[in-house]
Amino acid sequence: MAVAVKICGLVRPQDVDAAVAAGATYAGFVFYPRSPRAVAPAAAAALAARVPPGVAKVALTVDADDAALSAILDAFPADILQLHGAETPARVAEVRARFGLPVMKAVGVATASDLPALDAAMRSSDLLLVDAKPHPGADLPGGNGVPFDWRLVAGRRWPVPWLLAGGLTPANVAAAIRLTGAPGVDVSSGVERAPGVKDADLIAAFAAAAGALPRLLYDADAPG
């Protein structure tokens, strides 16, 4: 079975093109001001124009209120909302109902005690992102480049699609997929030269290691 690949934290046109060419299933854009990968809605909309049909545009937010979500979605044509904060299942359901978009809920995992939160999240979300739980005091809720113990989720099955995240790189993603059986993987810092600066070769290597099929490069500026 093909593994879905999400390239997150896209801020440059060439990085969007590289993600698409590598066969990404999801293109992630961060709307969290404290992130080095944050992008304004208008700028993200211009980047989204480079994303062809068949690649889902994901808007990542962190504990955003309705006004903030509305401002993002008024400018950015999101296909999926990713909630990467402390949003409760009730809040996830509220966002789904209010905005009419599929919701991907991120849940941080460090120990077995974190697993019940995954079960709770799946009851209100359309997709799960199983991420490494940030250390206490960390500035960011994700994108920290640190893996968790993948054995905690090895062989688990949930009734919604899910992606594995946290410290994945071209060197370890194949092993992570083999161990966990993850049907999808998410990467940001693992394919960067610097925070927010993606490397096209690393993106291609990551997608290839995950088993993605490369696409013909989409030229958003081509006529017709």
CB atoms within 10 A of CB 176: 22
Q: What is the 3-state secondary structure (H, E, C) of 116-156?
A: HHHHHHHCCCCEEEEEECCCCCCCCCCCCCCCCCHHHCCCC
81-105 residue pLDDT tens: 999 999 999 999 999 999 999 999 9
CA distance 2 to 35: 30
Is the pLDDT score of 138 beyond 50? yes
Is the pLDDT score of 223 beyond 50? no
CA distance 158 to 162: 8
For residue 98, the SS3 value is: helix
**Total-model pTM:** 0.90
Q: What is the pLDDT of residue 156?
A: 82
Q: What is the pLDDT of residue 2?
A: 83
Cβ distance 187 to 166 under 8 Å? no
Q: What is the pLDDT of residue 221?
A: 47
% of the chain at pLDDT higher than 70: 91
166-217 residue pLDDT tens: 999 999 999 999 999 999 999 999 999 999 999 999 999 999 999 987 875 5
Cβ distance 84 to 62 under 8 Å? yes
Q: Any idea which residue has 């989204």 for tokens?
A: 48
6-24 residue pLDDT tens: 999 999 999 999 999 999 9
Cβ distance 41 to 76 under 8 Å? yes
Distance set, CA 22 to CA 55, 89, 137, 142, 159 (Å):
11, 34, 35, 23, 28
The correct CATH number of 4-210 out of 3.20.20.70, 3.40.630.30, 3.30.43.10, 3.10.450.50 is: 3.20.20.70
Is the pLDDT score of 60 beyond 80? yes
